[in-house]
Amino acid sequence: MTELLTVTGPATGDVLAELPAATAADVDTAVGRARKAQREWGATAPGERAAVLLRVAALIEAHAEELALTETRQCGKPIRLSREFDVPGTADNAAFFAGASRAMEGKAAAEYSADHTSAIRRDPVGVVGSIAPWNYPLQMAGWKLFPALATGNAVVIKPAEITPLTTLRLAELCAEAGLPDGVLTVLVGTGPVAGEALVSHPGIDMVSFTGSTAVGKRVAQLAAQAPKRVHLELGGKAPFVVFDDADLEAAMHGAVAGALINGGQDCTAATRAYVQRPLYDAFVDGVADLFGTVRMGDPEDPATDLGSLISRAQAERVHGFVSRAATAGARIVGGRAPEGAFHEPTLVVGAAQDAEIVRDEVFGPVLVVLPFDSDDDGLALANDTRYGLAASAWTRDVYRAGRASRELAAGCVWINDHIPIVSEMPHGGVKASGYGKDMSSYALEEYTSVKHVMSDNTGEARKSWHRTVFAGG
């Protein structure tokens, strides 16, 4: 009997869908279809692939409200975030890669050897196995699909089994836009079954995974058996460094927005605020006051700022971090026991640098605030983490800003802001936050193989270099 996976709205507990769980046999079938379809899709001219992606972008915009409501219901995120960030960002990403696919860069064809002409090709990798997370199901699917499709690859994607609905709808829109059958397949299944079968399948040429660092290690281990190319976007513990010359009001508002986006379920969310002592007390008081104005409630209400977390279990997990921090001596502002999957904004003050809540990814609406004295101390504390996905620095001093941008060990550093992303710029981390880039033209490098083609220009049977191997003949 086929196992059914139930998709439940975390804010309401309503059952949204029941879907058959993909098996290893389903993975094998999907990969076989993808390998056949990729040959023709990979040979399609970039302009034709771009036309399909432009139609995808237009269809996303045409179905924006439907996609936003579905995303909010399956994730519990506020409808404003879905309408104004997730859906338009996904449409823009599709449109960007439509253009980028027609303008890939490479070294000029030339005679780098006197008797030969060299040229560089960027060929599709082949069939990509993608695994997307539950926090931004639509956007993360787009980040993986659009650069892969733009460069002529086929994709078998496994969304998180608890949030597959917008990925399935996106696949339908891709088919409506003219994407050939078999080039994109969505498999709804669990990580241990469908996920591991996908990563391990010999017909998969590349794996792209977004999720926790622990699971990312498992993915890399499985993929290494082939070996095959791996792209990983993993966890984060982003520092938010406020120097004593910063615009305090801007920093406080930036901290609230950066910490609470998507309920804090964001690998780039501001989680560790390091504030230079002259501003520390005012920052703590100001952020606490702002947290108190955040409207938590029905995610479908446009007035709601903070919806539910992804599940009751996640809310309880977050509260466990907060409770243990309090037991260890930290002062907690907010942080009451969760109601269902809802968890109120929480400020943690006075935790030690080596505390669990400072070191580990909480993935909830929790901001830890710690003081620092010198600039050296602030940057050192910010970098004192195994993660390196994102960071921000707040200062009016151009030299401080320049130093922070150089020294903060992260794939993205914001100055006087935290969170904004654009399709033209890359997203990806260092250290335990993974490797490889999403978005931007740099993502095209992830999904293409560089091939050197070298052609003889002389027509001579015996080349001058032959004498280094044999003298006669």
Q: Catalytic site residues?
A: 233, 267
Identify the helix (H) or strand (E) that includes residue 344. Answer: none
Q: Is there a contact between 81 and 260 (Cβ–Cβ < 8 Å)?
A: no
Cα radius of gyration (the chain): 24
Number of Cβ atoms within 10 Å of the Cβ of 416: 15
Burial class (CB in 10 A: 0-12, 13-18, 19+), 23: middle
Look at residue 16 and give its three-state secondary structure: strand
Chain center to CA of 304: 25
Strand partners, 354: none
Q: Are 382 and 239 in contact (CB under 8 A)?
A: yes
- How far apart (Å, rounded) are the C-alpha atoms in residues 402 and 347? 29
> 3-state class of 298 per DSSP?
coil
How far apart are the two ends of the chain, measured CA to CA in Å? 71
104 exposed, middle or buried (CB, 10 Å; 0-12, 13-18, 19+)? middle
Q: Residue 418: CA atoms inside 13 Å, Cβ hemisphere, count?
A: 35
Q: Give the CA angle between residues 288, 292, 295 to the nearest 5°.
A: 140
Which residues are CB-contacts of 199 (< 8 A; sequence separation ≥ 6)? 129, 131, 207, 209, 219, 222, 223
Residue linked to tokens 């046999």? 25
Strands 15-20 and 4-8, by their bridges, are antiparallel
Cβ–Cβ contacts within 10 Å for residue 12, how many?
Answer: 16
SS3 418: coil
Helix H or strand E segment including 8: strand 4-8
**At CA 156, angle to CA 429 and CA 191, rounded to 5?**
70
* Triad 95, 96, 100: Cα angle to 5°: 125
Q: Residue type at 105?
A: E
